Amino acid sequence: MNEPYDVIVVGARCAGSPFAMLMARKGYRVLVVDRARFPSDTISTHVLHPLGASALSRWGLLDRLTTSGCPPIHTYAFDFGPFTLSGTPGTDDAPVAYCPRRTVLDKLLVDAAREAGAELREDFIVDEVVMEGERAVGITGRTKGGTATVERATIIVGADGRHSLVAGAVGPEEYNQRPPLLAPYYSYWSGLPMDGRFETYIRPHRGFAAAPTHDDLTIIVGGWPYTEFETNKRNVEGHFMEMLALAPEFAKRIAAAKRETPFGGSPVPNFVRKPYGPGWVLVGDAGYNKDPITAQGICDAFRDAEHCTTALDAVLSGRQRFDSAMGEYQRDRDEHALPMYEFTCQLATLEPPPPQMQQLFGAIHGNQRDMDDFVRMNAGTISPAEFFSPANVGRIMSQCR
C-alpha cells in the first residue's frame, strides 16, 4: 500500500483503458502505459456486439461512439447457402451492435481513462516486470528514445494482449490450449452499403462476414483453415475473391464496390490463463485469447475490466483477501467464457456443421424467435450453453414434428 501507484496497467486498449478508468473512478492511483500513441490502429476487425455497447453506455461513453459517425447494426444474418438465419442481436436495453474503427474506439477509451484521473504514458515500452522473489512489484520501461525508468505499484496489470510481456514474466498456468485454427484476413471497401446489417457467409472450409463502419466504409473479413495458411499466403487477394464468389449475390454487390485498403490479418492461438498471482493480474487477451471468428474479444475485455475492478477494489479496500477475490474473478470469467470458447474453436475449424446441427438450423429457419436466439447466441447476448441446452434444442426440434 506504500507504493507510489495502486496499479500499473500495461496496455491501454479495450482491456487496459476501461480497467484504468474504472479503478481511477474509484479513487485508486493508476498508471497506464502503452507503446502506442493514440489514435492508433491495431490488427483486429472490430464488431462490437450489443453487450459491448451496453458496457459503453454504463460507463457514460456510448454517446461518444454514436456521435463519431459509427452506424448502428440492427440485424445479423447468417447465410449457409441453402438458407439464411437472420435476427436481432441485442436486448431491449441494448438493441444494436456497432463496428467502430479501433482508431476511434481505443482513443475514446484512452481519453476516458485519463479524464477519470489515470496517469497515461503513451509511446512507453515496458521492457521487464520487476520481481521480488515470486512477487511482481513494478515495471521497467522507457519512452521511445528515452532513458529507462522503474515504476512500482501494489498490483501490476497485464492488459498487454495475446503476446503479453506480463504473462511471459510471471508464467501463469495455461489451460484449454488450441493451436491457431483459422487464417483470417480483412480489408475496407467503399460502395458496399450494408443498411444496418452484419452479414456472415458460411461455406465448406470458407467463411466471411461484412459489417458497416466509419467513413461509409464496410469491413469484409474472411478466411480459410489454418492448414491452408502457408500455401495461400502468397496470393491472399486471389483466394479471398474466390471465397466471396461462393456467395453469388454478395459477389454481385462486390463487383460494384471498391477495395480501399490492403489486406490485413493474423492467425491467433487459443488459450486460457490463470489471471492472477502474487502482485499481478491479467485482463483481456493477455488472460484469455480465442479465434476472432465470433468477434468476442472486445466484449470480453470490457467484461474483464469491470469484474477485475470489482475484485481488486475488494482487495485494496481490505474487504477480501487477494486469492479469494481473484479466484472468484477467474471462476466467473471461465463460467461465462468457456462455452463460447468451445463454440468459437469449433466454428473456427470451418468444418461443415454436423448432421444434427444442420437439422437444428433447419428447424430454426423461418421461426423468428429462434432465429433471434441463434443470432443472440452468436453475439454473446445469450450463452451457447443455454442455447444448445438439451431443453432448448428439444423445444426447437419439437416444433417441426
Residues that bind ligand FAD (CB under 6 A): 10-16, 33-36, 42-47, 125-126, 159-161, 165, 184, 265-266, 268, 284-286, 292, 295-299, 301
Shortest separation between residue 363's beta carbon and ligand FAD, angstroms: 28
Shortest separation between residue 401's beta carbon and ligand FAD, angstroms: 38
Contact 360, 396 (CB under 8 A): yes
Contacts of 310 (CB under 8 A, 6+ apart): 329
Alpha-carbon gap, residue 228 to 150, rounded angstroms: 44
Q: Is 307 or 396 the residue whose CB approaches ligand FAD more closely? A: 307
Q: Is 16 or 87 the residue whose CB approaches ligand FAD more closely? A: 16
Q: Is 263 or 388 the residue whose CB approaches ligand FAD more closely? A: 263
Q: Is 125 or 397 the residue whose CB approaches ligand FAD more closely? A: 125
Alpha-carbon gap, residue 55 to 77, rounded angstroms: 24
Q: Is 35 or 114 the residue whose CB approaches ligand FAD more closely? A: 35
CA dihedral 297, 298, 304, 310 (to 10 degrees): -170
Alpha-carbon gap, residue 193 to 199, rounded angstroms: 12
Shortest separation between residue 79's beta carbon and ligand FAD, angstroms: 18
Helix locations, 147-258, DSSP H: 165-170, 229-232, 236-244, 248-255
Contacts of 151 (CB under 8 A, 6+ apart): 4, 5, 8, 31, 138, 139, 141
Shortest separation between residue 141's beta carbon and ligand FAD, angstroms: 6
What DSSP designation does 284 have? G
Half-sphere exposure of 374 (CA within 13 A, CB side): 23
Q: Is 10 or 55 the residue whose CB approaches ligand FAD more closely? A: 10
Q: Is 159 or 360 the residue whose CB approaches ligand FAD more closely? A: 159
Shortest separation between residue 33's beta carbon and ligand FAD, angstroms: 6
Q: How far apart are the first and last CA of the chain?
A: 64
Shortest separation between residue 160's beta carbon and ligand FAD, angstroms: 4
Shortest separation between residue 158's beta carbon and ligand FAD, angstroms: 9
Shortest separation between residue 361's beta carbon and ligand FAD, angstroms: 23
User: Cα 238 vs. chain centroid, distance in angstroms?
Assistant: 28
Contact 287, 161 (CB under 8 A): no
Shortest separation between residue 298's beta carbon and ligand FAD, angstroms: 3
Q: Is 185 or 364 the residue whose CB approaches ligand FAD more closely? A: 185
User: Of all residues in this chain, which one has the CB nearest to ligand FAD in the complex?
Assistant: 297
Shortest separation between residue 260's beta carbon and ligand FAD, angstroms: 18
Alpha-carbon gap, residue 42 to 362, rounded angstroms: 38
Contacts of 133 (CB under 8 A, 6+ apart): none
Q: Is 101 or 253 the residue whose CB approaches ligand FAD more closely? A: 101
Alpha-carbon gap, residue 201 to 78, rounded angstroms: 6
Alpha-carbon gap, residue 108 to 65, rounded angstroms: 8
Q: Is 20 or 360 the residue whose CB approaches ligand FAD more closely? A: 20
Residue 206 DSSP SS3: strand
